[in-house]
Amino acid sequence: MFDAVGLSAADVDVDALVRDVRAHAQQVEPFTLTFDRPAIAPVAIEISGWPGTPFTRLVDSITQLTQGQRTAFRPAASRYPHMSLAYTKSPGSEAIDPVGLRAALASIEVRLSHTVRADRIHLVEQWHDGATIKWEPIASIPLKGSA
């Protein structure tokens, strides 16, 4: 996930950005990420993935293409492969017992890791309403050799 904080689709030439991302994507080989057991973090319950290098290269490239639009934004801090399962700062989350959740996860005696093939880029307009993250799809762009 790449988050351009402070930027909306109205702030960029979407057609030009999609065209630039499509051209770049044809040079990027698909890659596989492995995701592990969920972790209870201060902001979310998330699953981190690895290896980070192909993901980081792709995020850095998309960041540069977005900056090429001459927009004022800042990339979000969550620039590492991850999947958020739930947010721990949402209304009602005060009742979450992080120690209990960690103990419950530790008691699961099976392998929880799984691989995900990264073969496309999804450009979306995303916004936060304080409790959830919502998005509107803009384009789905395949990486090199993907259909």
User: Residue 121: how many CB atoms within 10 A of its CB?
Assistant: 21
Q: What are the pLDDT digits (tens) for 29-68?
A: 999 999 998 988 777 888 999 999 999 999 889 888 888 8
Top pLDDT among 23 and 85 is at 23
What integer pLDDT is reported at residue 5 of this predicted model? 56
pLDDT at 28 over 90: yes
Taking phi over 0 as left and psi of -120 to 50 as alpha, with beta for the rest, 117 belongs to beta
Q: Give, in degrees to the nearest 5, the angle at Cα 142 between 136 and 147.
A: 120
Residue-level pLDDT at 4 = 56
**Greater pLDDT, 98 or 142:** 142
pLDDT tens by residue, 76-111: 766 789 888 887 777 777 777 888 888 998 999 998
> Can you give the pLDDT at residue 1?
46
Phi/psi at 145 (nearest 5 deg)?
80, 0
d(CA 82, CA 1): 8
Q: Across the chain, what does the average pLDDT equal?
A: 85
Helices (H), the chain: 14-25, 52-67, 98-106
What is the band of 6 on the pLDDT scale with cuts at 50, 70, 90?
low
The CA distance from 58 to 50, in Å, is 14
Task: Give the sign of the dihedral formed by CA 138, CA 82, CA 145, CA 67.
Answer: positive
Cis peptide before 51 (omega within 30 of 0): yes
Give whichever of 19-23, 85-89, 130-134 has the largest mean pLDDT. 19-23
Confidence grade of residue 3 (pLDDT, cut at 50, 70, 90): low
- Rounded CA separation 93/80 (Å): 24
Q: CA-to-CA distance for 31 and 60, rounded, in angstroms?
A: 16
pLDDT the model gives residue 51: 95
* Count of helices and strands (H, E) across the chain: 3, 9
Domains observed in the chain: 4-142 (3.90.1140.10)
